[in-house]
Every structure is written in structure tokens, then in C-alpha cells.
């Protein structure tokens, strides 16, 4: 069994960021309990690959916003940004965030393998602020 298999299931997939055929990040939301998370399949920081720690918050929001000259996926709690993606969010189903999105079964088939490929919580989610900064410096020395 993987980390939080109750959320990381195809039925809870709501969309992705990145190129569909190039290991995109896959986003999950359970409307019954408000839990959310994502699986990062590819990243320049190895510790940031895998399942994000699952969180729940009644004021969780996900949307696309124009930031720094580019459309990006943004996640918010209480109106404050806590995660900004490198790419825009592509919804694959109707959800409270994208109520008019059409269900795309082809995307489900292409994205679902991420659940099996990455069963563990990413190391990044277990790191404190100082550990994260040290990890960044290791891969991006100044």
C-alpha cells in the first residue's frame, strides 16, 4: 500500500500541470472530506518527486493565474498562495474549481500510472524549512 491511497486514486484526480505525455504533476481532491494533494513525477529537485503530503482545508482553492508574465496553477488556503506551479492547471473533470470542465477519460488513462509509479510521500514533504533550503543549495549553488 502507498501513502494515503484513500486520496491518491483515479476517482479523485481533477487535473494536471505540465505536458500530458511528459510525466506531468497530477492533482487530486476528495469533495467528501476536503482532502487534496498532488503527485510530482518530474522535478529538478529529486526530493520534490512523489506524493505530496495530504492536507484538508475548507477554503482550499486551485486556479490558473497570470503571474510573472505566465499563466500558472495556483493553490490557496484562506486566500493565501501556498503553492505556485511552473505550468497552468488542466482540468480533466467537472469539479467545484472548474465546474464546466468536460471529463476526459483519455487523460485519466494517461495519468493514473503515476499513482502506482509513485506510492511514497515525497521527501520534500518531510523536510523542514532549513533542510529544504540546504537541498536547493545542493542543486542550485549560487
- What is the tens place of the pLDDT at every residue in 26-37? 999 999 999 999
- Does residue 2 lie in a domain region? no
- Burial 54-66, CB ≥16 within 10 A → b, else e: beeeeebebebee
Give the pLDDT band of residue 1 (cuts 50, 70, 90).
confident
In a domain? residue 49: yes
Residue 43 sits at the vertex; the CA angle it makes with 40 and 46, to the nearest 5 degrees, is 95
Q: Residue 88 has what pLDDT?
A: 97
pLDDT of residue 87: 95
Q: What is the pTM of this model?
A: 0.93
How buried is residue 90: exposed, middle or buried, by Cβ count under 10 Å (0-12/13-18/19+)?
buried
The cell numbers describing 24, all together, are 506531468
Mean pLDDT estimate for the chain:
94
Q: Flag whether 71 is in a domain.
A: yes
Q: Does residue 4 fall inside a structural domain?
A: no
Is 1 within the bounds of a domain? no
Number of domains in the chain: 1
- Domain extent, residue 70, equals 10-139
pLDDT at 141 over 90: no
The secondary structure element, H or E, covering residue 25 is strand 25-30
Amino acid at each position: 500500500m502507498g501513502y494515503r491511497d484513500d486520496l491518491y486514486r483515479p476517482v479523485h484526480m481533477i487535473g494536471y500541470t505540465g505536458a500530458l505525455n511528459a510525466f506531468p504533476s497530477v492533482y487530486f481532491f476528495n469533495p467528501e472530506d476536503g482532502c487534496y494533494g498532488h503527485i510530482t513525477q518530474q522535478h529538478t529537485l529529486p526530493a520534490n518527486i512523489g506524493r505530496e503530503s495530504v492536507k484538508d482545508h475548507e477554503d482550499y482553492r486551485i486556479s490558473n493565474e497570470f503571474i510573472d508574465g505566465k499563466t500558472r496553477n495556483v493553490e490557496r488556503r484562506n486566500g493565501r498562495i501556498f503553492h505556485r506551479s511552473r505550468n497552468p492547471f488542466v482540468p480533466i473533470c467537472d469539479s467545484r474549481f472548474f465546474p464546466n470542465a468536460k471529463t476526459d477519460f483519455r487523460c485519466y488513462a494517461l495519468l493514473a500510472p503515476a499513482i502506482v509509479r509513485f506510492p511514497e510521500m515525497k521527501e520534500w514533504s518531510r523536510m523542514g524549512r532549513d533542510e529544504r533550503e540546504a537541498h536547493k543549495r545542493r542543486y542550485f549553488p549560487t
